[in-house]
């Protein structure tokens, strides 16, 4: 069988040049596009009992979209937690408002409650140009243009990812376990978290029960001495209060045995795949993977070239370039 013709040298050079831009150049394009954003405002609606709408009290609910006051004019992105909200400006700042009971606004415990609903800039990120922000019920996170991940808030289930036993960060703190990896997205579940890197890797941490973090949590699962749903101790005459008290006791017992991954670890089951998106549900996880696999040792330029050629159904060009 005759070998495929070699790719013309000019086309080869042009394609390689197009797909071998250094990371710093790619980031500068992203920064430039954000810098040119027109004025954009944030509008909110729904329940405002925790101040997540950013609207002044005594307004409890907003049934129509209402503009959030006190924000900069050029907003590039937003994120909604359970009871608080985040906004990222075109200049790379993070603004937060809403519930601060767990410190998810980054203002510290001393911040007066009547100020929580007013958007304020998150301090402690002055040396970071933030590209995106993410929020759970109790934790906030920001990704810098260098791929660093910063978190703040309080989570007894390890959702901060800052190390063994660390359950609180009053100010933004860098997740050192991910140093060296360029993070582009984070997703939070009820007690767990996933992070996606630019090169398609997935890292998980936090509450690992029921396999929501994959195999890494299996060794930590500790079944209780009695099944949680067992009510053998209650006879037919047990009152509703007795049943509730028993359920509360079971929940407290379960809290003592929580399986927790305290620092981000790679999800090994996905190491042979390239992941393009991640999402956490309440107690499960989803990933979007490429249907084509290729060695991770392949250079970044060839990876991007392969993806591009696949998307436009010109896989043959990639094959020629890789093997000629």
If pLDDT is split at 50, 70 and 90, which confidence band does 198 have?
very high
Phi-psi category of 214—alpha, beta or left, where left has phi over 0 and alpha has psi -120 to 50?
left
First to last CA, the chain: 16
Q: Where are the alpha helices (DSSP H) in the chain?
A: 9-18, 23-35, 240-256, 300-311, 315-323
Cβ contacts of residue 129 below 8 Å, gap of 6+? Answer: 31, 91, 92, 144, 145, 146
Which has more pLDDT, 227 or 288? 288
CA distance 311 to 100: 44
User: What are the extents of the domains in the chain?
Assistant: 43-212+256-271
In CATH, the number for domain 43-212+256-271 is: 2.130.10.30
Phi-psi category of 51—alpha, beta or left, where left has phi over 0 and alpha has psi -120 to 50?
left
**With 80 as the cut, is the pLDDT of residue 223 above it?**
no
Q: Which 8-state DSSP code applies to residue 113?
A: G
Q: What would the two tokens of residue 136 be?
A: 């759970």
**With 70 as the cut, is the pLDDT of residue 5 above it?**
no
- How far, in Å, are 23, 103, 185, 198, 256 from residue 181 at the CA level? 13, 26, 12, 8, 33
CA 74 to chain centre: 23
Q: Which tens digits make up the pLDDT trace of 70-103?
A: 999 999 999 999 999 999 999 999 999 999 999 9
pLDDT of residue 244: 84
Mean pLDDT of the chain: 80
Which has more pLDDT, 30 or 316? 30
Residue whose token pair is 């019920």: 137
Which has more pLDDT, 142 or 251? 142
If pLDDT is split at 50, 70 and 90, which confidence band does 262 have?
very high
Rounded average pLDDT over 218-236: 52
pLDDT of residue 133: 98
CB of 142 closer than 8 Å to CB of 94: yes
Q: Which tens digits make up the pLDDT trace of 101-156?
A: 999 999 988 899 999 999 999 999 999 999 999 999 999 999 999 999 999 999 99
């Amino acid at each position: 069988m005759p070998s495929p013709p070699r790719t013309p040298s000019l086309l080869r050079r042009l394609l390689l040049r197009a797909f071998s831009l250094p990371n710093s150049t790619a980031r500068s394009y992203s920064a430039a596009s954000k810098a040119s954003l027109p004025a954009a405002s944030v509008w909110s609606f729904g329940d405002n009992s925790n101040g997540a709408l950013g609207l002044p009290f005594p307004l409890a609910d907003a049934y129509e979209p209402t503009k959030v006051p006190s924000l900069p004019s050029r907003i590039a992105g937003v994120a909604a937690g359970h009871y608080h909200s985040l906004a990222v400006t075109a200049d790379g700042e993070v603004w937060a408002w809403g519930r601060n009971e767990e410190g998810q606004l980054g203002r510290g415990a001393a911040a007066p409650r009547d100020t929580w609903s007013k958007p304020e800039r998150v301090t402690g990120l002055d040396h970071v140009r933030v590209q995106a922000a993410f929020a759970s019920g109790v934790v906030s996170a920001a990704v810098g243009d260098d791929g660093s991940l910063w978190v703040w808030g309080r989570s007894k289930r390890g959702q901060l990812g800052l190390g063994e036993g660390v359950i609180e960060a009053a100010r933004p703190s860098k997740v050192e376990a991910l140093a060296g990896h360029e993070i582009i997205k984070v997703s939070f579940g009820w007690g767990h978290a996933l992070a996606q890197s630019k090169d398609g890797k997935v890292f998980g941490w936090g509450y690992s029960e029921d396999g929501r973090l994959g195999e890494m949590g299996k060794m930590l699962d500790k079944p209780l001495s009695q099944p949680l749903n067992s009510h053998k101790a209650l006879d037919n005459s047990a009152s509703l209060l007795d049943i509730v008290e028993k359920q509360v006791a079971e929940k407290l017992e379960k809290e003592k045995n929580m399986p927790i991954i305290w620092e981000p670890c790679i999800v090994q089951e996905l190491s042979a795949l390239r992941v393009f998106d991640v999402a956490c549900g309440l107690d499960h996880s989803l990933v979007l993977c490429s249907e084509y696999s290729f060695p991770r040792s392949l250079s970044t330029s060839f990876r991007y070239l392969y993806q591009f050629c696949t998307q436009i159904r010109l896989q043959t060009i990639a094959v020629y370039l890789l093997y000629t």
